[in-house]
Amino acid sequence: MRFLKTKIAKAGGLLAQTDTSAENLPQQPAQTSSKIEDPEPIASRPQRIRQPEKIHLVSPTLKKNISGDNIMKNYGRAMTNFALSKMAQFYLNPIVEGLNITIEGFQNYISQKKKSANCIKQLRAMLPLHDDQRDPDLNYKKAFQSICVVFLKFFCINWLYSSKIAEKVAHLRFRFKIMRRVKNPQYFTYLKDFHDHM
């Protein structure tokens, strides 16, 4: 600090008025007074602190008017399309062997129900509600239940982010709720009963 004061004093031509301790300092060429406009010490000047720019993070909030029917329609179509796809056959082979049905019979069953699987009621009808052996489609329903769980666990996110669906976050929030209802179809009620309160 003393060195800085001495430097300022030399520049202003006030070296003679400073104390004698400044004589021991190394001599530097005097600067012209035109370069220093204000002889006030720098430390006493108010410093300008640059304020950091505020970054406004936009959280992926959900619109309050998202239709739950739309979400169920999209999931219903996606699960039935996956059950009929070639990707599902790798997972279907052990499932149909354990249930003593054929892949062709399963795909015929899904093809017949595919167009109507656009709401909770119709999707629930494709799942095994009770282990009723008199139901002729019971094994097909069990196979569809298993393949839906595979889709929701491993293929749902890829399907969602490669689709044209606008409300991806809303669909993701319902993913595990729908999976729990697929595993327990007796609780697969209307969307108002398991709607995610936002």
Report pLDDT digits (tens) over 19-47. 444 455 555 555 554 555 555 555 566 66
The answer to whether residue 57 sits within a structural domain is: no
Whether 33 and 123 map to the same domain: the answer is no
pTM of the model: 0.62
* Count of domains for the chain: 2
Instruction: Give the total residue count for the chain.
Output: 198
Q: Which residues constitute the domain of residue 36? A: 2-42
The answer to whether residue 61 sits within a structural domain is: no
DSSP code of 19?
A: -
pLDDT of residue 41: 59
Nearest 5°: CA angle at 122, between 144 and 167?
Answer: 85
Q: pLDDT by residue (tens digit) across 102-127?
A: 999 999 999 999 988 888 888 989 99
